[in-house]
Amino acid sequence: MKQTFILLIFTLCLSLTSAAQEDTRDLGRGKVGESELKRDGENSEMDSLGYNNVDSHIKTWRLSDYGTRKYILNVDTLLGNIHNSNPIFQRSIGNSYLGNLGSPYQSTIFKDRVRNQSFIFFNTLEAYMNMPKEVLYFNTTTPFTSFYYTTAGSKDRAETRLRVLHSQNINQFWNVGINFNLISSEGQYQNQKTKLYDFNLFSSYEKGRYGAHFVLSQNRIEINENGGVSADSLIRETTTAPENIRVNLSETKNKLSNFNFVANQYYNIGNGKDLIIDGDTSQIYPVKVVHDLSYESDNREFKEGVVNKDFFKNTYLNNDKSADETTLNKFSNGFHIIFNENQNKKLSFGARLGLLNEFSVYNLRRLVGENSFSQKDKSIHNTRLMASIFRQSGINWNWEFSGEYFFEGYNRSDYQLDGNLVYQFGDSINKQNLKIKSQTRSNTPDFLMTEYYGNHDQWSLNLDKSKELLLGLEYEIKKYGFKIGGQINNLENYTYFGYDTIVSQTNKSIQVATAYIEKDFRLGNFTLSQKIVTQKSSDNDILPLPDLSIYSNNYYSNSFFNGALDIQAGFSVYYDTSYNAPNYSPSTGQFFLQKEQELGDYPKVDLYFNFRIKRTRIFVIYEHLNAKMGSQNYFSSLHYPINPGLLKFGLRWTFYD
């Protein structure tokens, strides 16, 4: 059935592509060359197109800051790292997770962690979700379709990932597209299945002074919770097959869903002029007015068919079966005015001013009397003012200073100030960047961090505002694949999930110092791509971190038949030094502190082979090659081993003419 479904989606996209060829001939022809489809990743990666004489013109972009900023991006045309099919390792080189594709995770690198989501249950799943801020908009003279598929394992332990993107123009100004993603993994251990899918319908219209962007999206996640293995020695000291190893929980699930609708419209005022930003020429008007409207609905259910009181520290409500459910509905409405920079004036910077109102309704179990609970609503609203000044068109220096202040509502008196400076020098070939960033903020913890009543976890807290100061510096030479940087975070009233699995807040001041370096070493057809992150926490009892995280990707690459065939063969290594890696609580879906044992100090090795034939990229990878070699201490989180060795196949097929 699954294979039939995949075939239907693929066939549908091919049909749409073919049917749209005639409709898009009048859009004006261009060529997809380096000016349109630039490399967007490691400099050592290989171009998948194979040739540049394709009669197609594609532009892509994302919106940020509530639709007030437009970032021109490049279509993914790279062969390198196609074998890295786990989204969490595409976001960060180090992660604590439950071992299976699609399972909850937390980055081992503090600066990469997801924090302060309005619906905290998504913090450990964010990398798998396709939210409106991630949507890629298109304007293309020919329909564009991308098909990505991976498969691994036997039928009862199968792992599948599918991603289909299709975009086409209705006319010169109006584009529509769909994006479907699926992750389905049975896992190698019992009761470990994950199933996640998201679907996006997106559209953009830009003509003259007016433009509009729309997104309709749905994310659904289902995770079987097994509570980890019953004894770590079954992994470290035996050769027992994974499917025969006892786990702690059965008939226990987390189910989450997310729905979004976003409508963003703008209107330009004044006489338009060409402005060059990062090499792209855009028509810029003196003033732009933006209206951004969004609706989000989130839901999370934790269900137990059988309650295991021996596993959970506490059971408050039901000893047989239980279901904890939390829902959030959020409506946001914002108005913004942008005064764009003018290169012909002495003071050429731009400015933004915005007013945003948010209204949220949580539905959750609440205390209504002594030991009496009821599912009730909690309404929250906020109004905030946002302002910034910026310069994006400078030859050398570009900068932005922005701030926001909550002057009314639940988050009253919260603020955030950001400063970013970029100094660019060197010619187009030897381009170098120096980046300086800073941030200070005061933030009221999310409502769910202050109140929650589940069957196994309950808290009602008066939390102080969390405060943070961040300073960062980065230097990059793109030609040599070289990047070096550092960051310091100072945290006050840091809020976290403590040793007792529930929310806690410290009145200590905690500092985190991070330094990182990336470098590609090339020796003929060989590339050694290295990424190293070192970090130090001033309080390892509250915020434990590995001292060192490494990602080493080493491969041989070459082209044959006048560029019609590219190959890449190599191996990659992931490594974290030992530290008190977190434990995981299925009842909250959150990682929490533990001092039972240190984990890490284990290299995970993957062996892969990638090749491209024209627009088709195919890979074969054997993940965790060293599972049965030497130490078998491959736990990513306490009692949660990563999956043993697994052979995986995949392909990406792109159509755009």
Q: How far, in Å, CA of 318 to CA of 622, rounded?
A: 44
Q: Are 503 and 461 in contact (CB under 8 A)?
A: yes
Lowest mean pLDDT among 83-97, 277-291, 612-626: 277-291
Residue scoring higher pLDDT (97 or 321): 97
Per-residue model confidence (pLDDT) at position 632:
86
Residue-wise pLDDT tens digits, 541-561: 999 999 999 999 999 999 988
Place of tokens 């209107």: 267
* Average pLDDT of span 456-474: 96
Q: Is the pLDDT of residue 278 over 90?
A: no
Question: Dihedral of CA 106/108/109/110: which sign?
Answer: positive
Q: Are 47 and 78 in contact (CB under 8 A)?
A: yes
Per-residue model confidence (pLDDT) at position 25:
35
pLDDT confidence of 279, banded at 50, 70, 90?
Answer: low
Q: How far, in Å, CA of 42 to CA of 593, rounded?
A: 35
* Average pLDDT of span 492-516: 96
Mean pLDDT (the chain, rounded): 88
Q: Are 136 and 73 in contact (CB under 8 A)?
A: yes
Residue-wise pLDDT tens digits, 110-159: 999 987 677 999 999 999 999 999 999 999 988 999 999 999 988 888 99
Residue scoring higher pLDDT (348 or 111): 111
Per-residue model confidence (pLDDT) at position 362:
97
Q: What are phi and psi of 268, to 5 degrees?
A: -95, 145
Q: Measuring CA to CA, which residue among 125, 376, 446, 102 is closest to residue 257?
A: 125
Q: Measuring CA to CA, which residue among 307, 316, 236 is closest to residue 635?
A: 236
> Helix, strand or coil for residue 110?
helix
pLDDT confidence of 321, banded at 50, 70, 90?
Answer: confident
Name the H helices within 66-152.
87-91
Residue 651 has, within 13 A of its CA and on its CB side, a CA count of 10
Per-residue model confidence (pLDDT) at position 130:
92
* Average pLDDT of span 404-424: 96
Q: Are 126 and 118 in contact (CB under 8 A)?
A: no
Per-residue model confidence (pLDDT) at position 274:
72
Per-residue model confidence (pLDDT) at position 343:
60
Per-residue model confidence (pLDDT) at position 479:
86
Residue-wise pLDDT tens digits, 27-44: 333 333 332 333 233 333
Residue scoring higher pLDDT (295 or 82): 295
Q: Are 637 and 88 in contact (CB under 8 A)?
A: no
Q: How far, in Å, CA of 217 to CA of 262, rounded?
A: 9
Q: Is the pLDDT of residue 626 over 90?
A: yes
Q: Is the pLDDT of residue 501 over 50?
A: yes
Q: How far, in Å, CA of 120 to CA of 381, rounded?
A: 17
Sequence-ordered list of residues with C-beta below 8 angstroms from that of 601, at least 6 positions apart, any chain: 576, 577, 578, 633
Q: Name the DSSP letter for residue 408.
A: E
> Helix, strand or coil for residue 89?
helix
pLDDT confidence of 657, banded at 50, 70, 90?
Answer: low
Question: Dihedral of CA 70/71/76/82: which sign?
Answer: negative
CA distances from 297 to 150, 217, 302, 326 (A): 30, 11, 17, 11
Lowest mean pLDDT among 21-25, 135-139, 440-444, 499-503: 21-25
Q: Are 640 and 594 in contact (CB under 8 A)?
A: no
Q: How far, in Å, CA of 136 to CA of 131, rounded?
A: 11
What burial class does residue 3 get, using C-beta atoms within 10 Å of its C-beta: 0-12 exposed, 13-18 middle, 19+ buried? exposed
Per-residue model confidence (pLDDT) at position 614:
82
Residue-wise pLDDT tens digits, 629-649: 878 889 999 999 999 999 999
Question: CA triplet 564, 568, 570: central angle to 5 degrees?
Answer: 170
> Helix, strand or coil for residue 155?
helix
Q: How far, in Å, CA of 281 to CA of 64, rounded?
A: 19
Residue-wise pLDDT tens digits, 63-95: 988 888 888 887 654 445 788 889 999 999 999
What burial class does residue 274 get, using C-beta atoms within 10 Å of its C-beta: 0-12 exposed, 13-18 middle, 19+ buried? exposed
Instruction: State both tokens at 261.
Output: 């609708």
Q: Is the pLDDT of residue 339 over 70?
A: yes
| pTM recorded for the entire structure | 0.88
pLDDT confidence of 480, banded at 50, 70, 90?
Answer: confident
Q: Give the CA dihedral 607, 612, 618, 620, nearest 10 degrees.
A: -20
Q: Is the pLDDT of residue 21 over 90?
A: no
pLDDT confidence of 275, banded at 50, 70, 90?
Answer: low
Residue scoring higher pLDDT (428 or 216): 216
Q: Measuring CA to CA, which residue among 486, 476, 472 is closest to residue 425?
A: 476
User: Any idea how long the chain is?
Assistant: 657
